[in-house]
């Protein structure tokens, strides 16, 4: 069987682990570290789509290989879609996941509507052409964080259809609901039609 190599344009090891649990043989995910690329990929744009495109095109320029990136945001409805594209830097540059969670819980105090969604946009560059795929996971933000798995906002996000936060789930359980999984399944279906 032909192996399909794809460079994944991220420095986030949590994302690499999740993507590798989804993209299995015949796909082979090459990380930036594997490819010997040590750069901070810019995310300067106002939309997830534009940031995902920027990341994949940056890495495509460097490697000239088929590659993909993803950009994800947590969109909270009563906060007009915040933190959205700013999810990584919600509490400011140089702040950590816990600071971001604390700010989110603070902003939601007293708000009855705690519904939210994670939205992932994957940008694939395949044979020099770009294709976008989107995955959404709907759920709600809980008042007190729970669980220690995963990353980012996982301890405060409970997906619809579960009582557990993402941080209380194994990776396989999270993948049953996850935005990232949904987007990557579309990428897989697309590539299967192209090459398998």
Which residues of the chain form contacts with ligand IMP (CB under 6 A)?
Answer: 12, 43, 71-72, 74, 87-88, 97, 100, 118, 150-154, 166, 180
Residue number, 4 or 71, with CB nearest to ligand IMP = 71
Cβ at position 194, least distance to ligand IMP in Å: 25
Report the C-alpha gap between 48 and 54 in whole angstroms: 10
Q: Kindly state the smallest distance separating residue 20's Cβ from ligand IMP, in Å.
A: 14
| Residue with Cβ nearer ligand IMP (12 or 134) | 12
- Among residues 34, 38, 71, 172, the one annotated as catalytic is 71
Q: How far is CA 31 from CA 43, 67, 114, 125, 185, in A?
A: 18, 10, 35, 15, 19
- Beta-ladder partners of 136: 119
Query: Smallest distance from the beta carbon of 98 to ligand IMP, in angstroms?
Result: 10
- Please, are residues 89 and 39 in contact by the beta-carbon 8 Å criterion? no
CB of 153 to ligand IMP, least distance (A): 4
What are 132's strand-pairing partners? 123
Residue 71 annotated in active site: yes
Q: What is the rounded distance in angstroms from the CA atom of residue 4 to the CA atom of residue 12?
A: 22
Nearer to ligand IMP, 27 or 152 (CB): 152
* Residue among 65, 64, 42 at smallest CA distance from 53: 42
Query: Which residue minimizes CB distance to ligand IMP?
Result: 152
Comparison of 4 and 72: residue with beta carbon closer to ligand IMP: 72
Positive or negative, the Cα torsion across 3, 8, 11, 15? negative
Active site residues: 71
């Amino acid at each position: 069987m032909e192996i399909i190599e794809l460079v994944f344009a991220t420095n986030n090891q949590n994302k690499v682990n999740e993507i590798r649990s989804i993209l299995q043989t015949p796909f082979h995910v090459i990380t930036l570290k594997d490819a010997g690329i040590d750069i901070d990929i810019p995310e300067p744009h106002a939309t997830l789509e534009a940031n995902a495109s920027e990341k994949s095109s940056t890495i495509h320029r460097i490697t000239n290989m088929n590659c993909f990136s993803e950009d994800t945001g947590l969109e909270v409805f009563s906060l007009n879609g915040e933190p959205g594209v700013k999810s990584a830097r919600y509490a400011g540059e140089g702040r950590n996941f816990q600071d971001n969670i604390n700010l989110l819980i603070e902003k939601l105090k007293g708000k009855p509507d705690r519904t939210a969604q994670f939205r992932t946009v994957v940008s694939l560059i395949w044979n020099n052409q770009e294709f976008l795929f989107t995955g959404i996971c709907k759920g709600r933000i809980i008042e007190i964080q729970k669980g220690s798995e995963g990353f980012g906002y996982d301890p405060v996000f409970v997906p619809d259809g579960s009582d557990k936060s993402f941080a209380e789930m194994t990776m396989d359980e999270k993948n049953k609901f996850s935005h990232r999984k949904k987007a990557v399944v579309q990428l897989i279906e697309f590539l299967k039609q192209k090459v398998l």
